[in-house]
Amino acid sequence: MNINNETLEKMRQMRLNGMYEAFKSNLESSIKESLTPDQLVAYLVNNEWDNRRNASIARLIKQAAFRYQASIEALDYSVERGLDKNQIHRLASLDFIQENKDLFITGSTGTGKSYLATALGYHACQNGYKVMYASTSKLLGQLRVSKGKGTLMQD
């Protein structure tokens, strides 16, 4: 086993998946000749960083249990929807989270409350925040069960 294969195996065993993939890719391409040692280290560390960040975001999204995928960029601001684009962008700054405030979205059936909540939730997850997505009926049901058991909801 040569030194590169040993290094790859050690990266894999240490679960440095981003570095492993970057180093393996680098060995298979012609980039390796053009990188200085410090550039190579930066390349490997950046790939590991990105890999861990993406895995963290994926975990946060999975734990949030969103009903579907949504994004702030895909929101429909047509007049009949009645969405205030400036208000949505203020919410997208996520300042309400920094200020420890809750967000309740209300409105008539079919107005896109769930989509808006999901879009903001995805955005929060992408910024490293833990999100709990719940409809009112689901949340009230969980609260009733917790009250009946005499326990608080676990996060």
DSSP string, 84-129: -HHHHHHHHTTHHHHTT-------STTSSHHHHHHHHHHHHHHTT-
Its sign, for the CA torsion 72, 75, 78, 83, is negative
Is pLDDT larger for residue 61 or for residue 134? 61
Question: What is the tens place of the pLDDT at every residue in 79-103?
Answer: 777 888 999 999 999 999 999 998 8
Residue given tokens 């280290």 in the structure block: 41
What is the pLDDT, as a whole number, of residue 15? Answer: 92
Question: What is the tens place of the pLDDT at every residue in 5-53?
Answer: 898 999 999 999 999 999 888 888 866 567 888 988 999 999 999 999 9
